Chains A and B, each alone.
Chain A
Amino acid sequence: MEPRLRRSDGAEIDVQIERIDRSWSTRDLTTAERHERYERLDGLREHLERAAAEGRSPEEVLNPDPVAFAFAAEWGAARCPHVRADPAHRHRSSRRAARAGSVLGGLLLLVGLGLAWTLLDGTGVSVTWPAAVVLVVLGAALTALQVRWSNRAWARRGGVTS
């Protein structure tokens, strides 16, 4: 007897396709890439339907969790090499960048303060210690805000590095 697609398989295929599509839709795609995404999803649907008709479930064809198990991420990354496939890696890189930014900001602030101190030293203008502490705290707060803002902007872009 000719193998046929069961209704439950059809529903499962819809779920998997939708999940993969949702995962891809978080990326910044050009119009051409968006068009290609639909075409590839159609191709994948046909593949899953044929496999289901042969008795293989979508899970078996893709993975127990195609999205979490990097199917969608990997395929997306392979299409757009500038996108990192691994969200954990992206998170690590972001934190590393934030930490480096903070250290650099702090160093620049200290150098600036030292320079200002040296310049003011000969002019007779006195800078009190509380004022210096306030300046350092203000600088640190500004650096933290900047890091937070850039992280948010990065997250809004869906983790795409441009």
Chain B
Amino acid sequence: MASDGGGERGSRLLRGILDACLLALVAEQDRYGYELAAALRQAGLGMVRDGSIYPLVSRLEAKGLLDSYVAPSTSGPGRRYYRITDAGRRELWEARTTWKQVATGVDAILHVSRQGD
């Protein structure tokens, strides 16, 4: 795993929330694989390998949280765009709620520890 953007710890932390990040990106606008990877990098999540995105979106698609369609591209073969479904929006809402709880708790603990250093 690449070391930029948080290294191994970052990758491990992201593993459980990456699907929600992808849902959130697709909820903003329909995107294809390369765009998803670029958006993650732009957000500072460079530790995510582009290659791990494809299996994940396929899994989200199989679960009915994402839907996909092929649109023509000017620079080559058609591109498969992903769009969020209603079930995906509900899942994203739940993921946001959970993340808020977890982040608040972890932040409180880490903040206390930092004061104790």
Quick check: which of A46-54, A112-120, A127-135 contacts chain B, the rest being far away?
A46-54
Q: How far is the CA of A99 from the CA of B7 in the complex (A)?
A: 43
The reply to whether the CB of B55 lies closer than 8 angstroms to some CB of chain A is yes
Q: Across the two chains, which residue of chain A brings its CB closest to B56?
A: A78
Number of A-B contacts (CB under 8 A): 57
Is A43 in contact with B62, judged by CB distance below 8 angstroms? no
Identify which of B54, B58, B77 contacts A46 (C-beta below 8 A).
Answer: B77
Q: Across the two chains, which residue of chain A brings its CB closest to B76?
A: A46
Is B55 in contact with A43, judged by CB distance below 8 angstroms? no
Chain B residues near A51: list those with CB within 8 A: 34, 50
Which residues 58-84 in A have Cβ within 8 Å of B in the complex? 60-63, 66, 71, 74-75, 77-79, 81
Is B51 in contact with A63, judged by CB distance below 8 angstroms? yes
Binding site for A on B (CB under 8 A): 2, 32-34, 37, 49-52, 54-56, 58-59, 61-62, 70, 73, 75-80
Identify which of B55, B58, B80 contacts A39 (C-beta below 8 A).
Answer: B80
Interface size class of A (residues with CB under 8 A): 20 to 34
Q: Across the two chains, which residue of chain A brings its CB closest to B37?
A: A47
Is B50 in contact with A78, judged by CB distance below 8 angstroms? no
Chain A residues near B73: list those with CB within 8 A: 46
Q: Across the two chains, which residue of chain A brings its CB closest to B53?
A: A47
Is B33 in contact with A43, judged by CB distance below 8 angstroms? yes
A to B CB contacts below 8 Å, 22 in the list? A40-B80, A43-B79, A46-B34, A46-B73, A46-B79, A47-B34, A47-B37, A50-B34, A51-B50, A60-B2, A61-B49, A61-B50, A62-B49, A63-B49, A66-B51, A74-B55, A75-B54, A75-B55, A77-B55, A78-B59, A78-B61, A81-B62
Interface of A is mostly: helix
Q: How far is the CA of A66 from the CA of B54 in the complex (A)?
A: 12
Q: Across the two chains, which residue of chain B brings its CB closest to A47?
A: B34
Q: How far is the CA of A88 from the CA of B84 in the complex (A)?
A: 34
Evaluate whether A42 and B2 lie within 8 angstroms (CB atoms) in the complex, with A61-B51, A66-B51, A75-B55 already known.
no
Residue from the set A50, A60, A66, A75 with the largest chain B CB neighbour count within 10 Å: A75
Evaluate whether A43 and B77 lie within 8 angstroms (CB atoms) in the complex, with A78-B59, A81-B62 already known.
yes
Q: Across the two chains, which residue of chain B brings its CB closest to A70?
A: B55
The reply to whether the CB of A44 lies closer than 8 angstroms to some CB of chain B is yes
Chain A residues near B59: list those with CB within 8 A: 78
Q: Across the two chains, which residue of chain B brings its CB closest to A63?
A: B51
**8 nearest interchain CB pairs?**
A78-B58, A62-B51, A74-B55, A42-B77, A78-B59, A75-B55, A61-B50, A47-B34
Chain B residues near A63: list those with CB within 8 A: 49, 51
